[in-house]
Structure 1
Amino acid sequence: MKNCERLANLALAGLSLAPLVVKVNPNVNVVLTACLAVYVGCYRSVKPTPPTETMSNEHAMRFPLVGSAMLLSLFLLFKFLSKDLVNAVLTCYFFLLGILAFSATLLPAIKRFLPKHWNENFLFGPTALEVEFTRSQIVAAIPGFFFCVWYASKKHWLANNILGLAFCIQGIEMLSLGSFKTGAILLGGLFVYDIFWVFFTPVMVSVAKSFDAPIKLLFPTADPARPFSMLGLGDIVIPGIFVALALRFDVSRGKGSQYFKSAFFGYTVGVVLTIIVMNWFQAAQPALLYIVPAVIGFLAAHVIWNGDIIPLLEFDESKLAAAAASSKDESSDLTSSDSCKKDE
């Protein structure tokens, strides 16, 4: 499942030791930037039709194991190979991913200024390896390419953050948990994953200090000993797809953003609490330790208060997608039947 593999990449965090450029309050910027990414990604995830691909319970249970294997593999790579060599390979990998993510994030805005027929799909390549794209996507890829060239050449913290935000928005927009049961399984598993690898082993911190790629947000500080504060993209995308599910649940019931507000407020509280504890102990903290209980807790309290437990637990986007497809087929059959009657 490609979406799961992409999310596993986002769950890992690294630290780029770029020079101090401007003095900002990293605590405020971490909260504002993370919340902005979740908010934008959630609303972009609302589509006219339900997502056709959703995460299963099995994938959700397996995901912490996949993430752990990737994290341990990176730890061993940095330990036994040259850090510069590993980061050079990662830079090439994220250069290509960055073009895709950046251009996809810009695409809705760019499409408004282009002819409608430029949004029609084209197929390129041999049958077995056909690639589908539009002219609009090619146009959007141009600024994406030059921006990623700037990032790869300068590794500026601002370029890192912009690419990181693009990854977050695309991850939240594209990934669907399917149901709140699957979401609870995923967040519960990664809650334990984050605690174990941060508190009980040096692996997460070691990889974070060595990993130089746009899978974390960096915020300059005034402390020479710690030039940057950072937040891993996994701490945005993973709870973000759960918050997005709450928004689509509201939309499916015509309730506006009733439960989305609770889940989003819980995410904000979790990020703020992470920063408070981190500053209090002056040590790295597993953000999901605070974000997961806050998101699920605020949403659960609101649902219980309104008596909507059963509708929430029964909500399943894969079933909605199947129903929508069935309805579309029936509509198509009726149209064909009416056409035949007219011909007669």
Structure 2
Amino acid sequence: MMRNHERAANVALLGLTLAPLFIKVNPNLNVILTACLTVYVGCYRSVKPTPPSETMSSEHAMRFPLVGSAMLLSLFLLFKFVSKDLVNAVLTCYFFVLGIVALSATLLPSIKRFLPKKWNEDLIVWHAPYLRSLSVDFTRSQIVASIPGTFFCAWYAAQKHWLANNILGISFCIQGIEMLSLGSFKTGAILLAGLFVYDIFWVFFTPVMVSVAKSFDAPIKLLFPTAVSARPFSMLGLGDIVIPGIFVALALRFDVSRGKHNSGYFGSAFLGYTAGLVLTIVVMNWFQAAQPALLYIVPGVVGFLAVHCIWNGEVKQLLEFDESKVASDESKDSTSLKDGSGENSKKAE
């Protein structure tokens, strides 16, 4: 059930996204508020009744920057040697499908409240015509949610309007923060440290990151209208929201696991993210040059959280927290409860 502060954050995010259509909004303020609200919404949506069963391992976290670098360089070479229009046409088709899925999933919780309970719970299983082993499970509610998602993505594909780009981008961010789980703060620290170096290298030492960001005509970045004709939009990559966001979300779930929903380490991590993002904007405007946002955000998020847990004397508890173990323990407990109830029923017989 969505609480009042979550509902307020959703409304504020929607209003802020639409605001530049009607009034002049300072792009720097827009970047900060939009990113922070997106992280906030995604974090609270990541809190589920049961811990995630699948989490990122330390090995995956170590490989992530290397895989990201390979993909980034591949895109750079692709744009360099293949027609940009052709590449973007293929990417548009890909993001059309991906956008429907992400936007539908983002809208689903709001839509479900107005639909019959049966539509939300009864699964429909669709089997591929010639590949019976390939099947997809979905509910009627998901079909309903996909209708506005499909029309919206069609509008994006046809017009490539900045508003459509941003709504899809925000949906990707919310879904990423909601669905991805680091599992532990150790894994999160490894991932953030690797991407900290990744971001610095590709922005400061090569033209690759900036070139791909400008050439890539897809919702992998948020666009914020400016009043400057030479630079009509300020940009923020989705990775600068999702990557720190999943770490902040982990802090929130850690608080929830300890019975602290609205305070504790989530507040520190979220404040660190906000401070890092503000510093990014300040430095970017000071030097009038693109900045690797993770250079400032990662120390902010990790630093604020580290200071807080050291102050509380809870470093050990923080480092030992592992969602995969929590999920495993809960499944064992539920199994033992079932076994116990089964034995009791046999005795009663």
Alignment equivalent of 1:225, drawn from 227, 230, 243: 230
Distance apart, 1:116 and its partner CA? 1.1
Distance apart, 1:237 and its partner CA? 0.1
Distance apart, 1:127 and its partner CA? 4.2
Per the alignment, residue 80 of structure 1 pairs with 81
Alignment equivalent of 2:176, drawn from 171, 174, 177: 171
For the pair 1:335 / 2:337, whether they are aligned, the reply is no
1:267-286 to structure 2, matched below 5 A, reads 267-286=273-292
AA in 1 matched with 2:37: L
3-state DSSP of counterpart to 2:222: strand
Per the alignment, residue 123 of structure 1 pairs with 125
Separation (CA, whole Å) in 1 of partners of 2:57 and 2:194: 14
Distance apart, 1:24 and its partner CA? 2.4
AA in 2 matched with 1:42: C
For the pair 1:159 / 2:164, whether they are aligned, the reply is yes
AA in 1 matched with 2:346: C
Structure 1 unaligned blocks of 5 or more? 1-19
Separation (CA, whole Å) in 2 of partners of 1:121 and 1:248: 29
Per the alignment, residue 36 of structure 2 pairs with 35
Aligned residue pairs total 324
3-state DSSP of counterpart to 1:65: helix
Per the alignment, residue 309 of structure 2 pairs with 303
Distance apart, 1:128 and its partner CA? 1.5
Alignment equivalent of 1:321, drawn from 324, 327, 330: 327
Per the alignment, residue 194 of structure 2 pairs with 189
AA in 1 matched with 2:322: D
Per the alignment, residue 211 of structure 1 pairs with 216
3-state DSSP of counterpart to 2:125: strand
Distance apart, 1:336 and its partner CA? 2.2
Distance apart, 1:233 and its partner CA? 0.2
AA in 2 matched with 1:326: K
Separation (CA, whole Å) in 2 of partners of 1:250 and 1:258: 6
Separation (CA, whole Å) in 1 of partners of 2:201 and 2:172: 25
What RMSD over aligned residues (CA atoms) do the two structures have, in Å?
A: 1.2
Separation (CA, whole Å) in 2 of partners of 1:313 and 1:169: 26
3-state DSSP of counterpart to 2:133: helix
AA in 2 matched with 1:149: A
TM-score by length of 2: 0.91
Separation (CA, whole Å) in 1 of partners of 2:146 and 2:232: 32
AA in 1 matched with 2:141: S
AA in 2 matched with 1:284: A
Separation (CA, whole Å) in 2 of partners of 1:239 and 1:284: 19
Per the alignment, residue 104 of structure 2 pairs with 103
Per the alignment, residue 13 of structure 2 pairs with none
Separation (CA, whole Å) in 2 of partners of 1:90 and 1:335: 54
Alignment equivalent of 2:250, drawn from 211, 236, 245: 245
Per the alignment, residue 147 of structure 1 pairs with 152
Per the alignment, residue 14 of structure 1 pairs with none
Query: With CA pairs under 8 Å and 6+ residues apart, which has the higher RCO, 1 or 2?
Result: 1
3-state DSSP of counterpart to 1:230: strand
Distance apart, 1:341 and its partner CA? 3.2
TM-score by length of 1: 0.92
Separation (CA, whole Å) in 2 of partners of 1:261 and 1:299: 9
Separation (CA, whole Å) in 2 of partners of 1:142 and 1:103: 8
Separation (CA, whole Å) in 1 of partners of 2:310 and 2:260: 16
For the pair 1:259 / 2:265, whether they are aligned, the reply is yes
